[in-house]
Structure 1
Amino acid sequence: MAQSTRATRTLEQAGIAFSLHAYEYDSTADSIGVAAAHALGADPGQVFKTLMILADGKPACIVAPSSGEVSMKKAAAAFGAKAATMMKPADAERLTGYKIGGISPFGQTRRVPVALDETAVLWDAIFLNGGQRGLQVRLQGDDARQLLDAVLCDVAA
């Protein structure tokens, strides 16, 4: 497994402290994020998933705990939109440059607005996808918020 990805290089270039955590990726899991949390021995609320959405037809990114569902109504509101829908997987891959199951909010090929669930800053550190399947980065939630220039909000369903 490559330990250097666009996501990790983005974090390094920004001077963000992080650690890498590899795990056995299970593509058949009901929830990739929850499976990652179990593999890492972490609380599922501490492992965040990256979801690509369309808010009023415009691409955006939601970063939320893998332990819960995302409210599309709250996601839309985070971007000042009336409605939000999940982006089609092929479109998400094309937009981010990452494969589904390995989409990181860091180092995407096209920068889009990001909303980060407010619980991210309550943990000492959170896990986010490191840019490939089976790789997570552990960092402070506020460092993620600042680097992503993310809106901090409640997106839980």
Structure 2
Amino acid sequence: MQPREAVSIEDAAILRGITPDMMVKTMVLRDMGNLYALACCPGDRQIDPKKVRAVLQSRRMTCVDSQDIELLTGYKVGTVTPLLLKTPMPILFDPSLKATSTITISSGERIAGIELALDDLTRQCSPLWSDIIR
């Protein structure tokens, strides 16, 4: 557990004594037909919605409004994890996550993260692996 709530990925990494590339950043996206997807990459990278759109063969993909995140995922903004999502949706992992065998995901709370093997996380959420970063 951290001594206080984290306010960013960089802050969480400092509090946990790790580097941002060991953390999983998540972004909830929606296309024009209301298809939702959770895109995941290392914490020091940026998701490219155009690449997610291409993988899912969707029309324009945009970030979901922050007020809808908890309704869709069951998690508050900044605490979304690829596990136990309230709304089923495709989960995409960028291959750059494979750079480290142990990663940290959100626990669903800003006060703590969960460290686990990437292979264990992959078994739990069955992501689609594709290049989705800028």
TM-score (norm. length: structure 2): 0.89
- 1:45 maps to what in 2? 21
Three-state SS of the structure 2 residue aligned to 1:130 is: strand
Deviation at 1:82, TM superposition (A): 3.2
User: Counterpart of 2:83 in structure 1: which amino acid?
Assistant: F
Is residue 55 of structure 1 aligned with residue 31 of structure 2? yes
- 2:64 maps to what in 1? 87
User: Counterpart of 1:144 in structure 2: which amino acid?
Assistant: L
Q: In 1, Cα distance between the equivalents of 2:108 and 2:98?
A: 21
Q: In 1, Cα distance between the equivalents of 2:28 and 2:108?
A: 14
**Structure 1, gaps ≥5 residues long:** 1-21
User: Counterpart of 2:38 in structure 1: which amino acid?
Assistant: C
Q: In 2, Cα distance between the equivalents of 1:79 and 1:146?
A: 21
Q: Cα RMSD over matched residues? A: 1.5
CA change 1:145–1:96 in 2 (3 A) is: same
* Contact kept? 1:34, 1:47, Cα under 8 Å: no
- 1:137 maps to what in 2? 114
CA change 1:141–1:77 in 2 (3 A) is: farther
Identity of aligned residues (%): 23
Is residue 102 of structure 1 aligned with residue 82 of structure 2? no
* Contact kept? 2:40, 2:47, Cα under 8 Å: no
Q: How many pairs does the alignment contain?
A: 132
TM-score (norm. length: structure 1): 0.77
**Structure 2, gaps ≥5 residues long:** none
* Contact kept? 1:121, 1:141, Cα under 8 Å: yes
CA change 1:131–1:43 in 2 (3 A) is: same
Is residue 148 of structure 1 aligned with residue 128 of structure 2? no
Q: In 1, Cα distance between the equivalents of 2:46 and 2:81?
A: 18
- 1:36 maps to what in 2? 12
User: Counterpart of 1:123 in structure 2: which amino acid?
Assistant: T
Three-state SS of the structure 1 residue aligned to 2:88 is: coil
